Amino acid sequence: MKSMFKPLGAAAFAASIALATFPLAARADAASDALVSRGAYLAKAGDCIACHTAPRGKPMAGGLPMTTPLGAIYTTNITPDPDTGIGRYTEEDFARALREGVAKDGHNLYPAMPYPSYAKINDDDMHALYAYFMHGVTPVKQANREPGMKWPLNMRWPLKIWNAVFLDKGVYKEKTGKDVAWNRGAYLTQGLGHCGACHTPRGIAFQEKALDESGSAFLTGGVLDNWFGSNLTGDHNTGLGRWSEQEVATFLKTGANAHATAFGSMTSVINNSTQALNDTDIAAMARYLKSLPAAGGNGNPPYSYDPKATKVTLTRPAATDSGARVYAAFCMHCHGIDGRGFAPMLAPLAGNPNVLEKDASSLINVTLNGTEDLVIQGVPAPYPMPRYAPVLNDQQIADVVTFIRGSWNNGMPAVKVEDVAKMRKSTEAAR
């Protein structure tokens, strides 16, 4: 990393030697505004604020509940408050927490904190992040909440074994034969962006089945916290196979394009993270993602649009076709009789990768609970998806999602009412 100081002769040289002998925390005190600003940019790339800020809570003070198979856990206070936050962390402590999932006092963090991804962060970026969290974040005195897990599930010593088996501690190493943009995109996607934490399926021990493109499961989609993180490979139906690099970049920058609109957890990523990245980094991520070969998918032939049968059904919905009647009453005015919506303002449903996914979790969830507003450059999206849980029962939700999945040549199977009931119960408990 280039020096932050201009050469000023012997006095400056002596001062630099003295600075080099200071403890790491003291060195962070000398952080320049430029270093703190760079750390703030990197923290946005890592979307730290989304997980470490509770609804109506103070930024980075923690307390956000996260649902896991073992019970609820709560994100921690990562402000520089010395008593309840990370104010007493040295840079070494900070780096160990991010890369190895070990707190200053030695206890292991749950891998809901994406340290397997943050392990790839290089030293210069780690230094800038530390400067930002110590000098650019307002301290908040707020005690951390204990996990909602009962003994023995709350024991942390098994995490040492988990780390030994599943954690790769190496920082990202550039791939030979790949250009600068590809490597930058891979670094951001695999590391700070921790895209695999939501978009890669997990194994029986809650580990990501792959951490980079060398694993066939990488970014093929996965269920997490009642949402299905979509396939980001080149699959034609459920992935990015039909998207251009520019369309991927547009989605990361604005949360919408001709193919889909962000919802659920991805809304928070767009709002707090990717829209703040510069065009060079966005283009690099798009380059990397579009390089991934097709994997996962629904096993169906490549999607092709066919509106005929659906238009006939919606013109005069049969008395027995509950899904068509619900769609005509609640959905058609936004998503259209042709299923193409009014992209990018209103998402298409015909050929939408989320509709074509085998796992219907996200469709059920967003129909029940709607989604928070996309806010781009301070302007909320004009037509957010509303919440239908109060007005439609489980059978109606199942019927309309089944109708959508089977219409416009989407060709996906029916949704069970039991799956809707389960999702309603789970999401109500988390509210």
Alpha carbons 269 and 59: distance in angstroms, whole number: 15
Mean per-residue pLDDT over the chain, rounded: 90
Domain annotation for the chain: domains and CATH numbers: 20-139 (1.10.760.10), 180-290 (no CATH), 308-430 (1.10.760.10)
366 with 264: CB under 8 angstroms? yes
Model pLDDT for residues 156-205, shown as the tens digit of each residue: 888 999 999 999 989 999 999 999 999 999 999 999 999 999 999 999 99
pLDDT score of 72:
79
Maximum C-alpha span of the chain: 89
pTM reported for the whole predicted model: 0.89
How is residue 281 written in tokens? 């980094």
Cβ contacts of 134 within 8 Å, gap of 6 or more: 25, 28, 29, 31, 80, 87
The answer to the question of whether 236 is labelled as a binding residue is no
User: To the nearest whole percent, how much of the chain has pLDDT over 90?
Assistant: 79
- Render pLDDT for 241-292 as a digit per residue (tens, 0 to 9): 999 999 999 999 999 999 999 999 999 999 999 999 999 999 999 999 999 9
What pLDDT, in 10s, does the model give residues 335-350? 999 999 999 999 999 9
Is 331 annotated as a binding-site member?
A: yes
Q: Is 48 annotated as a binding residue?
A: yes
Query: 195 labelled as ligand-binding?
Result: yes
Of the candidates 160, 240, 232, 139, the residue with the CA atom closest to the CA atom of residue 189: 232
How many Cα atoms sit within 13 Å of 410 on the Cβ side?
28
Does the annotation list 135 as a binding residue?
no
Quote the pLDDT of residue 88.
97
> Is 198 known as a binding-site position?
yes
What is the spatial distance between Cα 86 and Cα 136, in angstroms, rounded to a whole number? 13
* CA–CA dist 274, 195 (Å, integer): 11
DSSP 8-state code for residue 247: H
Nearest to 412 by CA among 355, 341, 361: 355
Distance CA 415, CA 95 (A): 45
Q: Is 334 marked as binding a ligand?
A: yes
Per-residue pLDDT, 153: 65
Q: Give the SS3 label for residue 121.
A: coil
CA separation for the pair 29, 385 (Å, rounded): 45
How many CB atoms lie under 10 A from the CB of residue 107?
A: 11
Residue spans of alpha helices (H) in 136-278: 158-166, 180-187, 196-199, 245-254, 265-272
pLDDT at 24 over 80: no
